[in-house]
Amino acid sequence: MSPTLLGYRFSSPDLAQAALRHPSAPGAVRGQVPAFERLEFLGDRVLGLIIADWLFDLYPHEAEGPLSRRLAALVRASTLAEIGRRAGLPEQVQLASNEGASGGSANDNIVADALEAVLGAIYLDGGLEPARATVRHLWAELIRAEPTAERDAKTRLQEWAQSRGTTLPRYDVVQQSGPSHAPMFEVKVVLPDGRTAQGQGSSKRQAEQAAARNFLDRLELKHD
């Protein structure tokens, strides 16, 4: 039976599986099967084109600046992660066992990357129109929303620490994995009171942002 992802039924099961395979997955690490980086690269461009074309039609009188701000808000990692979670992607991403145990699939960057990879796979499997239909379905509630600036997670965490009179958070690289052309960093943020959170990214900066965002997410959950 052909797999279905994001409401699209694939003709190629291999493409669907590759789109959900994180670089840390055992087979990908050993080079036996492809991970989702190449599909993510393609999906990022496919998504950008589809959203840009959609905005161009929706807002015929807007200049390039406002259109760019709308586009940036719709394709940023936090937006993609939100959409990916709604679609159930975190439970489907294939990770190393230690990543899954530590909640890695809930990381914003991983969910966002997987969503882009699936969109890239849909494009390769069925062409632009199925990819467009999928994006229009998933982004239907967000496309007309007024864009809001996303505050930097590290800045927000720094402000939170300063408001409590503590020293600034410390960021430590826990691990670097993957090939040189596609590295993966794992970073731990450490607060003066000993609390920590970890995050992953394809650069130290992305991993630091993910760690800060994960710490802030825990704070928000605690006060819900």
Question: E-strand spans in the chain?
Answer: 4-5, 8-9, 170-177, 184-190, 196-201
Residue of 108, 115, 114 whose CA lies nearest to 198: 108
How far apart, in whole angstroms, are the C-alpha atoms of residue 8 and residue 28? 24
Active site members: 44, 116
Report the DSSP beta bridge partners of residue 173.
187
Q: How many residues does the structure list for the chain?
A: 224
The 3-state DSSP class for residue 142 equals coil
Provide the angle, in degrees to the nearest 10, between the axes of the packed helices 153-163 and 204-222: 50
Answer yes or no: are the C-beta atoms of 158 and 165 closer than 8 Å: no
Expressed in angstroms, the distance from the first to the final Cα of the chain is 41
Amino acid at 166: T
Residues whose CB falls within 8 Å of the CB of residue 200, separated by 6 or more in sequence, listed in order: 99, 104, 107, 109, 110, 184, 185, 186, 187, 206, 207, 210
Answer yes or no: are the C-beta atoms of 74 and 142 closer than 8 Å: yes
